[in-house]
Amino acid sequence: MKSAEILLNDAKIELTNVSNVSSETIDQFMKADTLFFDTETTGFSPWKNEIALIQLYDRDSKKCLLARVPENWTPDTWLIDLFSKSKTFVGHNISSFDIPFIAVAGVPWEKSKYFDTVSEKLFVLQVAEVMFQNLYVHLFEDVQVTR
């Protein structure tokens, strides 16, 4: 496993405004099959609040984008094109938070696939809960409760 210092030195981080992303970064993201995705917002409601920052990361190229989003933003063509491709976007709570924000902003998200780490964890917990209930029933099926 690489140390944090080596990982940071290898990282290619671009800090910019969402409308000024370099063509090199856009090209790399367009080539990627899977991107890690996150947003920072001005609040919790996609209908009342706005996206303030978009973060994308490509593990293969180690390209990382931190892009500031201006108020009253209209999505840039490159971002619309990116989400229109058949890609996989990975993120934490993207299905109930980030996707609604980009959808309300006007980014067509339907063609891509999403892996939400929260949903996956919830799924695992739900499976564990069912397994526990089945185990409980099995262990105590012969126990008679009397009053």
For residue 2, name the pLDDT band (cuts at 50, 70, 90).
Answer: low
Q: Count Cα neighbours of 5 within 13 Å in the Cβ-side half-sphere.
A: 0
- Residue-wise pLDDT tens digits, 67-76: 999 999 999 9
> Which residue has better confidence, 55 or 10?
55
Tell me the CA distances in angstroms from 19 to 91, 95, 135, one per residue in order.
22, 25, 55
Q: Answer yes or no: is pLDDT of 127 > 90.
A: no
Domains of the chain: which residue ranges?
Answer: 4-116
Residue 140: pLDDT band by 50, 70, 90 thresholds?
Answer: low
Question: What mean pLDDT comes out for the span 121-130?
Answer: 53
Sign of the alpha-carbon torsion through 140, 141, 144, 147: positive
Nearest to 14 by CA among 58, 74, 51: 58
Q: Which of 70-74, 115-119, 137-141 comes out lowest in average pLDDT?
A: 137-141
- Confidence (pTM): 0.77
DSSP 77: H
Residue 43, helix vs strand vs coil: coil
For the chain, how are helix, strand and coil distributed in percent, rounded to 5? Answer: 40, 25, 35
State the fold for domain 4-116.
Nucleotidyltransferase; domain 5 (3.30.420)
pLDDT the model gives residue 110: 87
Q: Yes or no: say if 36 and 52 are a contact pair by the CB < 8 Å rule.
A: no
Does the pLDDT value for residue 143 go beyond 90? no
